[in-house]
Amino acid sequence: MAIEIYANVLIAGVLTGLVYGLSALGLSVIFGVIRIVNFAHGEMMVMGMFLALELFRWFGLDPLWSMPIAAAALFAFGYALQALLVHRVAHLPEHLQFLLLAGVATVMVSAGQMVFGPDARGAQVGYALDSYAIGPIVVDKVRLFAGAAALGVAALLFGFFRYTLLGKAIRACADNHQGALVVGLNVARLYALTFGIGAACIGAAGAIILLLVDVHPYLAPGYTLLAFVIVIVGGLGSMPGALLGGVLIGASEALAGFLLVPSLKSAFSFGVLILVLLLRPQGLLGRVAAP
């Protein structure tokens, strides 16, 4: 009996973790190529959530159908952010880039607060309470769909970077910035595209997670930190690492919430972050950074 409960909790955690992983993938892509730590990450995710929420309220659109729209909107936002702001601070010290995005994050949280107010709202889809039972294992339908959607988007992203010419060009920029310039790649444009693609992942993850979580503007810093925890655990800049980190953190949070007090579960992931920072700063799947 006990084992089935653990299995249920674990599966739910892994499925949620896949969505976390997709969002962290966005952070990881942006860092891996542009070397910018996107401090406005959670804010962008919440933007995706609000977008899906409004589409649900006005048109009754399932968040899973809003997902491409949220991804497209966030792509445009990320592209503009890189092209208009981040691009201009590329030559400045790291901490100033970090602080620029912290400023953007502050603007986004307070804008969300002004437009949507502080109350938490969710999208109640028709199948919200359905679940599948396979023997003793019970899986929520929304969670299964959310996990599958996240996995699908992540697979698309991996495919894009592996097989398309554009994806290869972006990888070339990440591997050797100067070399990319020499062979005539338009690095500034590719960087903007990368930021857009990363942001699209974050937006998609935001739309998906609306199935599981009610949205309010103050969620944002928590998601930023969660994504940092995940990519640092998985290895900053490593794409499979981000997905793995997401699953690990999702599962361990679910277990910690089940075994300990639910509200202590995020203390657990910060504990994991501190341990990983200290013992394996390059992350589980990360490589030691080249000097």
Partner 1 sequence: MRLRWPSPVPRRATAALAALFAVLAVAPIVANNYQLSVLTLVLYYAYVGQAWNIMFGFAGLLSLGHALFIGIGSYASAALFVHFGIGPWAGVFLAVALAVAVGCFIALLGFRFAISGVYFALLTIAFAEFTRIVCDHIGWLGATEGLFLPVSSRSRIDLANLRGPPEMFYYLMLTLTFAALGVSRWLLHSKLGYCWRAIRDDPEAAAATGVNVFWCRMAAVAISCAASGIAGVWYAFYYNNLFPEIAFDIGKSIEITFAPIVGGVGTLFGPVLGAFLLFPLGELITGATQRLGLEGIKQFIWGIAVVAIVLLRPSGVWPWLWGILGLAETGEEVRP
Binding residues for partner 1 (CB under 8 A)? 37, 85, 88-89, 92, 94-96, 98-100, 102-111, 113-114, 117-118, 217, 221, 225, 228-229, 232, 261, 263-264, 266-267, 270-271, 273-274, 277-279, 281
Q: Residue 138's CB: how many other CB atoms inside 10 A?
A: 14
Please identify, using beta-carbon distances, which residue of 108 and 125 lies nearer to partner 1: 108
Nearer to partner 1, 225 or 284 (CB): 225
Rounded Cα distance, 46 and 198, in Å: 15
User: By C-beta, is 92 or 156 nearer to partner 1?
Assistant: 92
Residue 206 or 217 having the CB closest to partner 1: 217
Q: Judge contact between 32 and 192, C-beta under 8 A.
A: no
Q: Report the residue number, 137 or 289, with the smaller CB distance to partner 1.
A: 289
Q: Which residues, in sequence order, are bridge partners of residue 275?
A: none
For 132, phi then psi, to 5°, come to -105, 140
Instruction: Give the shortest CB-7-to-partner 1 separation in angstroms.
Output: 27
Q: Are 31 and 202 in contact (CB under 8 A)?
A: no
As given in the structure block, the two tokens for residue 11 are 């599966």
> Closest distance between partner 1 and the C-beta of residue 205, in Å?
20
In the bound state with partner 1, the residue whose beta carbon lies nearer, of 12 and 86, is 86
CB of 62 to partner 1, least distance (A): 30
Question: Cβ distance 44 to 289 under 8 Å?
Answer: no
Torsion of CA 37, 39, 42, 44, to 10 degrees: -90
Q: How far is the CB of 250 from partner 1 (least distance, A)?
A: 18
Contact 197, 157 (CB under 8 A): yes
**CB closer to partner 1, 229 vs 251:** 229
Q: Min. distance of Cβ 37 from partner 1 in angstroms?
A: 5
Torsions phi, psi for 271 (to 5 deg): -60, -45
Strand partners, 215: 121
Give the CA count within 13 Å in the CB-facing half-sphere of 228: 19
CB of 260 to partner 1, least distance (A): 10
**Nearest approach, Cβ of residue 232 and partner 1 (Å):** 7
Alpha-carbon distance 48 to 237, whole Å? 23
